Structure 1
Amino acid sequence: MPRLLRFLIWHLSSGFLIGAFTALVIAAQNPEILGHSGAIEPVALAMQVFAFGASFAMGSLGTALMGKID
């Protein structure tokens, strides 16, 4: 596999996992912060996990790319 693809896959997937974990921790500790009233709605939680994951993935990739500049 080319080095560029490994770089992209590694940083996007690690950032997504960190963001997804962050969303799940927030939802587990205090679901009202994310707008859940009482019970956690699965579809809303899935959308929030994806939103956090995508944001963190792009942030991770951007940070990694800026770190590569010499």
Structure 2
Amino acid sequence: MAVNLQHEGILGLEERLARLEGVAEQMDKRLASIEDRLNHVESRLNHMETRLEGLKRRSLRISGG
């Protein structure tokens, strides 16, 4: 009986481990998705910064500054 309980305990641990591995994989995918979106936002911000600098330079030329 003790061996049977031990076997069931091991199976329970294996099931928990499998679930945890699945959760970890989901978290990795979500984090990768978030990282991709943040990289996209950073790229757009850099593009906007470049455009803003160009507008500033143009404005200074027009105003004679």
Superposition TM-score tier, normalisation by shorter sequence: 0.3 to 0.5
Q: Which has the larger radius of gyration?
A: 2
Q: Which has the higher contact order (CA 8 A, sep 6+)?
A: 1
TM-score by length of 2: 0.44
